[in-house]
Each structure stands twice: as structure tokens, then as C-alpha cells.
A and B are shown apart, each in its own frame.
Chain A
Amino acid sequence: MTAVFTGMPSMLLLTLASYLLGVFIHKKSGISVLHPFITAMVVIIGVIILFDIPYKEYREGARVLDFLLGPSVVALALRLYDNIEIVKKNLAAILSAVLTGSAVGILGVWALGRFMGCDSLFIKSLEAKSVTTPIAMELTAVAGGSTSLIAISVVLTGVIGAVLGPSFLKLLKITDPVAKGVAMGCSAHGIGTGRAIELGAVEGAVSGLCIVLMGVATSILLPLINCLLGI
């Protein structure tokens, strides 16, 4: 009987239901910090602690969701293809911005981490944090960091970007719609894009395609930079 409660259907039910609860709370409250992902995490962790379910069993039960990460990265190609005209029109500017953002993101984490005396494992687990979660997790796994640490860090980065992004764009005098989209998409991936869509259609489209470009740029730059830094 207890096996039923830790089997795949129950673990999937727990995950999906917690996420739906998160979406509901997010919509009803209108508080952007209450991202559905955060509610889902709190509820799931609460339930598995309460019923004393080991994490390994939960992970095993929910592994069908893990599997879908790979296909969803491949599917991102369509988003880039749909916005190909915007990329063509601003090719040089967008590509340089993405490459700069990606390099600054990786080196920034490394420099801040070193400055504060963090170990290499910790730094490696955060370097890919500006990239969309599925790509960030793959990159972190290859680099030898912790995939759960990167997953939660990426989501927190996105939430911060969505909440504080628009005010900082004003403060930093980033006013061009394409530049706003680039800044939001590069720094806060999918969650930031959700907010960029509210700023305008161009901002949203550019932000969405920057998620993909940022993923590709970081996939190339991350192993190179790690190799050069010798970590």
C-alpha cells in the first residue's frame, strides 16, 4: 500500500498539483515574487518531509519530467526561428550584446566567488546562472557542479530580474526597446521574458530569442573560460 504513495503517479500528481497551486496563488495575489516554481518547491518539500519520503524516491517517481528537459531545449529552436527577422535586422548589436552578457555573467560569478572565498565547486555550480534552467543544468553537470543548486539559483535570478528589471533599466538609462529586451532576456531568461512581454511586443520577442542565444553563447564560452581559469 505505501508503495502506491511513492510510485510514479503519486509523485507526478504531487509535482503537477503543487505547480498548479503555485500558478493559482501567483495569479490571485498578483505578487510577482510568488513565482509558481517557488510555491511548488515549498509545498513539495513540505509534503515529502511530512510523509518521510526520501528525495531519491521522489526523484525516481518524477523522472519523466527530468526527461522532458532535453526535448524542451531542442524545441527552443522554433522560438529563435520565429523571430529570425528581428535578429537579422539587429544582428551585430544583438550578437555582441549576448556574447558580452554571457562572458560578463560567467566571469562575474567567478570574480565575486573568488573575492568572497568560495570554493571551486560552489563557483562551478553558479557560473551558468543567467542561462535558461535546462541548458544551465546540462552545462553545470558537464562542468562538475551541483545541478540542484544551479536550478534554484537560475529561478531566483529570473524572479529578481522580473521584479527589479524594469526599474533598473530606467536607472541605467537603457531605453531602446531592443536593448531592453536584450538586457531582460540575457540577465533573467524565461522569467524575465515574461516581464519583458509586459514592456512591449519588441521587448518580449527580443528577450525570448536572447534566451536561446544566451544558451548557445554560454555553452561555448563556459568550458573555454573554465579551461583558461583552470577550475
Chain B
Amino acid sequence: MKNILGFTIILLFLVAGEVLSCLSGHFMPGSVIGMVLMFAALCLGLVKADWIRQSADFLTKNMTIFFIPSAIGIMEEWGIIKANILPWSVIIVVGWLLVLFSAGWTEQLITKLKRK
């Protein structure tokens, strides 16, 4: 029963998130709002981690599978990639490197400043 309880709670927060997303003019995706609400509820002790752990682990561990169907849609949009193959590769590789560098360095810099 525990995974049904967990899944029910997760769906409750997802629906709440979708409602707020709708009311805010879709500024943020409903699922992200639901996640923020769930995090707040866990911190406040309104939801016990134990209640959702089984279902949450199942969902987060298998996330890769859930987005396969949309990625297959690339078949239909192969044209955009083919037309932009060079910019696409550059953006993926250079974009990745920029984030790795900026995030890593900011963290190190602030930790060093704090130690001084």
C-alpha cells in the first residue's frame, strides 16, 4: 500500500502545482511548482519522507525511460538538426563547458572567500 500512498501524495502535489501554474499564467511548469511545494512540505514535516520514498525512488531512478517517447520525435524534426548540425554540436559542447566552468569556479571562489 505504501507505494499507492506515496504516488497519491505525489499526484496531489503535481495537481496543486498545475493549478498554481495555470493561475500564474504558466510562468513556471506545474511539475516544478509541485516539487517546490513538496520540498516545503517535507521541511515543515507535513509529509514524512517515509511515506513517499518507495514511489519517489521508483520515479527518479527510472526517469531516463520516461522521456524516450518524446526524444523519438526527433525523427519528425531531423530536418532542423540536419540544417543546423554544426551550430547544434558547438552549442552542446561549448555550452556544457561554460556551465561546468562557471558553476565550479563560482563555488570555489565563494568557499575561498568565506575561509579568509
Q: Is the CB of A77 within 8 A of B69?
A: no
Let me know if B43 and A84 touch, CB within 8 A. yes
How far apart are the CA atoms of A141 and B84 in the complex, in Å? 20
* B interface majority secondary structure: helix
- Indicate the member of A132, A168, A179 with the most B CB atoms within 10 Å: A179
Q: Establish whether residues A190 and B64, one from each chain, have CB atoms under 8 Å apart when the complex forms.
A: yes
Distance between Cα atoms of A160 and B76 in the complex (Å): 24
Q: Which residues 122-138 of A sit at the B interface, judged by CB distance below 8 A?
A: 122, 125-126, 129-130, 132-135, 137-138
Q: Which residue of A lies closest to B41 (CB)?
A: A77
Question: Which of the residues A82, A105, A118 comes within 8 Å of B95, measured between beta carbons?
Answer: A105
**What residues on A are CB-neighbors of B76 within 8 Å?**
55, 148
In contact, A69 and B35 (Cβ under 8 angstroms)? no
**A219 surroundings in chain B (CB, below 8 A):** 28-29, 32
- Minimum CB–CB distance for B32 against chain A, Å: 5
Q: How many residues of B contact A (CB 8 A)?
A: 72
> Which bracket fits the contact residues of A?
35 or more
What's the minimum C-beta distance from A231 to chain B, rounded to whole angstroms?
Answer: 15
Interface residue A6 (Cβ < 8 Å from any Cβ of B): no
Q: Does B114 contact A (CB under 8 A)?
A: yes
Q: Is the CB of A148 within 8 A of B110?
A: no
B100 and A168 contacting across the interface, CB-CB below 8 Å: yes
**Which chain B residues border A204 with CB–CB below 8 Å?**
none
Least Cβ–Cβ distance between A137 and chain B, in angstroms: 6
One of B56, B71, B93 near A37 (C-beta < 8 A):
B71
Chain A residues lying within 8 Å of B68, measured Cβ to Cβ, are 15, 18-19, 37, 40-41, 44, 62, 65
Besides A108-B94, A137-B70, A165-B100, 19 more A-B contacts (Cβ < 8 Å) are A59-B70, A62-B68, A62-B69, A63-B69, A68-B62, A70-B14, A75-B35, A80-B39, A96-B110, A101-B102, A108-B99, A113-B91, A122-B80, A126-B92, A133-B63, A153-B88, A157-B92, A161-B96, A172-B104
- A interface residue numbers (CB < 8 A to B): 15-16, 18-19, 36-37, 40-41, 44-45, 48-49, 55, 58-59, 62-63, 65-66, 68-82, 84, 90, 92-94, 96-98, 100-101, 104-105, 108-109, 112-113, 116-118, 121-122, 125-126, 129-130, 132-135, 137-139, 141-142, 146-149, 151-153, 155-157, 160-161, 165, 168-169, 172, 174-176, 178-180, 182-184, 186-188, 190, 210, 212, 215-216, 219-220, 223
Binding site for A on B (CB under 8 A): 7, 10-11, 13-14, 17, 26-32, 34-36, 38-39, 42-43, 49, 52-53, 55-57, 59-60, 62-77, 80-81, 84, 86-88, 90-108, 110-111, 114
**6 residue pairs bridging A and B, Cβ less than 8 Å apart:** A72-B63, A75-B55, A105-B99, A118-B84, A152-B71, A160-B92
